[in-house]
A and B are shown apart, each in its own frame.
Chain A
């Protein structure tokens, strides 16, 4: 296994190579990497990999990490069952 086959997004099983290729090919931001590769779109809501994706993008010459949060957080920040979302209590 080479270093490049390292998984970055554990939820969606997206590798460092896939992200690197995406950034190099499209010269894109973390947000676009997420949309193109699905990195950060899994069950954990990107909690585990968002920092790594931001760092990779920055290291590969993309936009540097700024005050703005590149991969925005959207509710629900924890997966909830439809019952709970529908207002039904546990």
Chain B
């Protein structure tokens, strides 16, 4: 029996392990990916001061620190089931059953697809798949690609692909259907694009700064888009269908009005050997559901999240969550939450000194601070939504105590 088992070796899991092991806990991490680091591995962002955040290096640093502290990390192992036991938790993995006093789920997020006719063809992949191919495995997703869907991830990863020597022909909106909804509407996408202006200040301010409203901006948006880092972002073009027989050959696109209707006679075929679909992220909370956690549906956090408090406790004893499983945010926020979880668990297991307890509060404040200053903001209203969630948790536990 160990003190803490962590599912997920992303920034949340690694930082939790470090915080817990620094306080003397015996910690193991399990991850099904080929190496530790989670989705941080593929990330490459340019800070406003021109420096680069290299996810591979950051992950290595955390990994070495964890190993130094005696944390055991198994990769290539999947967790498929969990059960509460009198002493803690049983964790069922493809490498046997593990027992632990506390359990932290730091399983991250998964990508939300946008279905487009032809999207099952080989060569069509999620935008994150291309990021991992290029930056982690160092293999190009293809030579020339079209990205479907405009959001913070697609714009950031389009640039990363370009750095890998891949031609990103253009970024267009997805065909309109019941699922793509707002993602296929130029006015709505103009609004969200303007919120990304800090990522590419000069080019976005050029277009955004001219207009008072996103509506007007969408209306007068140049037909062929404008370029960020040389990549045309075409809010007035839609991907109707991905074509090919055995694999992707191209994309059938058409011009659309400011509100998204296809303009007849504008269809054309763009050649491409790969296509990326960018539909956003959603917390991957399947193990929390299997464990029996209570859930809340919070669109600002990306979907269903296990109910938890700011100390990362769930409604189940000894079960904690941290990182994107609690809501989609950047890697730095996930790491900050991990630290909170590691300290809270050390507290539950009674190894924190009075000074240690003070650290939990500091770590919670640090998470809020990191969130506020994160370069990549996936959604708006995250802090408010979290506040509401934590209040809900508090009310629920108060009720339980009074019963």
Contacts and interface: CB of A to CB of B under 8 A. Distances in A.
Nearest to B117: A1
Contact of B78 (A1, A2, A55, A78): A78
A6 B289 contact: no
A31 B179 CA distance: 18
B290 A51 contact: no
B326 to A, nearest CB: 15
Contacts of A41: none
B102 to A, nearest CB: 20
A4 B116 CA distance: 10
Contacts of A79: 80
A28 interface: no
B303 interface: yes
Contact of B297 (A5, A67, A80): A67
Nearest to B294: A67
B175 A3 contact: yes
B115 A16 contact: yes
A5 B117 contact: yes
Contacts of B179: 8, 16, 52, 55-56, 59
- Majority DSSP secondary structure for residues of A touching B: loop
Interface in B280-305: 282, 284, 286-287, 289-290, 295-297, 303-304
Range for the number of chain B residues in contact with chain A = 35 or more
B81 A59 contact: no
B79 interface: yes
Contacts of A7: 115, 119-120
B85 to A, nearest CB: 15
Contacts of B240: 3
A20 B115 CA distance: 14
B96 interface: yes
Q: Which of A7, A68, A78 is packed against the most chain B CB atoms within 10 Å?
A: A78
A2 B113 CA distance: 19
Please provide the 8 A-B residue pairs with the shortest distance between their CB atoms, ordered closest to farther. A75-B81, A76-B80, A73-B289, A78-B80, A78-B78, A59-B178, A1-B117, A89-B96
Interface of B: 32, 78-82, 92, 94-97, 110, 112-113, 115-120, 175-179, 181, 240-241, 282, 284, 286-287, 289-290, 295-297, 303-304
6 contacts: A2-B117, A3-B177, A16-B178, A69-B304, A78-B79, A80-B78
